[in-house]
Structure 1
Amino acid sequence: MSSRDVISKMTYRSKSILFRCLIIFTMNKKKKAKIPDRLYPGDKVGVVAPAGPFNRERFKKGIAALESMGFAVFVPKGVFERDGYHAGSGIHRAKMVNDLFVNPTIKAIVCARGGFGTMKILSMLDYAMIQQHPKAFVGFSDISALLSTLYNLTGLVTFHGPMVTTLSDATQKTKKAMISALSSEKPLEITPEKGVTIRSGCSSGPVSGGNLNTLCHLVGTPFEPDYTGHILFLEDQGEAVYRIDRMLTQMRLAGCFDGLSGLLLGSFDNCGKDDEIFRVVESVFQGEDIPILAGFEIGHGKDNMTVPIGIDATLNTDRKTLLFHGCATQG
C-alpha cells in the first residue's frame, strides 16, 4: 500500500495531526524559497480549477487575454467539471493540480477562478512531487489557501494575482504587472497610487498574505501559516466592517500576528468606508510597533497587482513602496 493510499484511509483528525507535524517540521527548518522558472513568450501555461466553477464566456475571454500576453495555453478537459458549487469533486480538483505540476511541458499554472472549496483539497495534494517540480502558480481570493500552503510546505514562491476569468476584463496595468512578476529579470517594486500610512516605519521580511476571509479560515487547521518575521498583505471584498474587525481580532487572538514585520492593506472593495477599516486596523494592531501601509492595488479592486509570496522585501511607509530584494522567477 502506497503512502497516498494510507493517507486516504486516515480520519480527518489523524490527517490533521499528520499535516500539523509536517508543517511544524517544515517551518522549524530554515526555509529557502524555491524560485520557479521565468516565463518567456511562447511558454505554455496550464489552467486549473481548484475551487468553484466559472462562467464560460468570461473564461474564453480570459484565455484570449493570456494568449495576447504571449503565452500558449493548455486547458485540461477536467477544468469544466462541476459538482454543486465546486469545479468537480475534491479528488478531481486535487488531481488536476498534481497533474499540471508534474507535466514537463507546462511552465506555469494559472487558476480559472476562486470561489469556494480550495481548502478541501489541501490534504489531497502531493507536496513532495510539487517540491520536485516547482513552477509559477497564480491565483487569488479563495486560492489564497493554496498559495499559502504551497509556500509553507514546499518553499515554492507563489503568485497572488489575476485568474483566467478576471483577466477577461482586466486593466492593462493588471496584465503588465502579471507579466512583470512572472518574466522580469529585475526585482519588483510595488507602489500604490494612493498609499495611506496608518503607522510609519520601515521593515523587511518575506512577503505573505492574501484574502482575509480565506486566511482567517485556515486558523486552527493544520495549514495555518506562521507569519513570524513576515510582511503580511490582506485584501477582501463585500465584507462589512464589523466582519473585518471580527476576522482580524480572531487572527490576533490566535497569535497569527505575533512577530509580524509589517502589514499591507490591499483592496477592500464594497467593504465600507476606508477610514472605518483603517480605524479597525489601528485598533487591532494597537501596541504593535510595525509599519502599516494601505491603498495597495491588490485583490478584488479595479487593478490587481501580482505579488510574489515568499520573496524578501522592504516596506517603507515614507516612500510608500514595497521593494523586493530579488527576482520572483529565474532562468
Structure 2
Amino acid sequence: MSYIPDRVTKEPGRSQDPYGGEELDVPTWQVQPGRYRLIAARACPWASRAIIVRRLLGLEYVISMGLAGPTHDERSWAFDLDPDRVDPVLGYERLEQAFLARFPDYSKGITVPTLVDVPSKQAVTNDFPSITHDFFFEWRDHHRPDAPDLWPDDCRDAMETVMDRVFSDVNDGVYRCGFAGSQEAYDEAYDRVWTAMDWLEDRLSHQRFLMGDRITEADVRLFTTLVRFDAVYHGHFKCNRNKLTEMTAIWGYARDLFQTPGFGETVDFDQIKRHYYVVHEDINPNGIVPKGPDPAGWHAPHGRDRL
C-alpha cells in the first residue's frame, strides 16, 4: 500500500522521518488549529491509533474529526453515520472525494486515517505512522497541560525496536494469517503471531506497560490489535491458539489500557465486528456478524497498578 507522504509540521518546509529523524524530501503543510480534519473509523485499527492519540494529547479542540461508517466498498469509506450520509464539515459522502479533489487521477488506496485540509477539502496525508508521530512532536504547542509523553527520550531506541516487532508480528501478523493464500503462508504467519504474543506475555508479566511504568505510543499501537483479538482475529483470521482472555498478563494489560481515559471510550465493538465480518466477503461470504464475545469483561478489575 502506498500513502500520500505529506507531513503537517510546525515549521514550514521541514519534515523528518518518524523513525530515523533525518530530513525527508516530502511536501509539508503548516500546523494551524482548526485547519485540518481527521477522518477516521472506529472499525479500523490503524485509524484507531490516531483517534486515541488525538484524545490522549487533548487535540480535539484544534483538529476536528469525522467518522466513517464501519463498512465500505471497493471505492471508499463512506460517511453513512452522519445525517443525510454527508460529512457536516467537508460536505462529502465519501472519503474518496477528498483524494480526488487533490489528485483527480488518484488510483491508490483510499484509507483511514486521513488528514484533510478543510479550506481546500483536499487530502493532506494518509500515512498513518506519521500522523500520530506528528500529533505528538509537531502539535506540542496545542497539547493539554498533562498530556502523556508518548515518545520519551530515555527509551526511544528501545521503543522503536518494540514497535517494529509489534507491527510486523502482531499488528500486521494477524492480517497475514487472515489473508494467507496457502497453508504454508498461514502456518508461518500463525507461528510468528504466537511467538510474539508469548514474548509480550513474558514482557508484561513484570512491567505494567511495554516500556515500563508509563504509557507510550508503543502501547497505543499494540492496544488497537489486542482490543480486536477475541472479537475478530481469533476466529475470523484463524489466530486461534488461545483467546486473549486466556493470557494472564496480556489480558490484564489490555484491560488496564481499555480503562484508561482516551482508550476504551473510543472503542465500538459492534462497528469493529461489522467491518471485518461484512467487508471481508472472501473470508465470510455469508456476511454473518457474531453476537459475542461479551464485552463486559473489559471493565473487570485488572490489578496492574501493583506493577
TM-score bracket for this pair, using the shorter chain length: 0.3 to 0.5
Higher relative contact order (CA 8 A, sep 6+): 1
TM-score after normalising by structure 2: 0.34
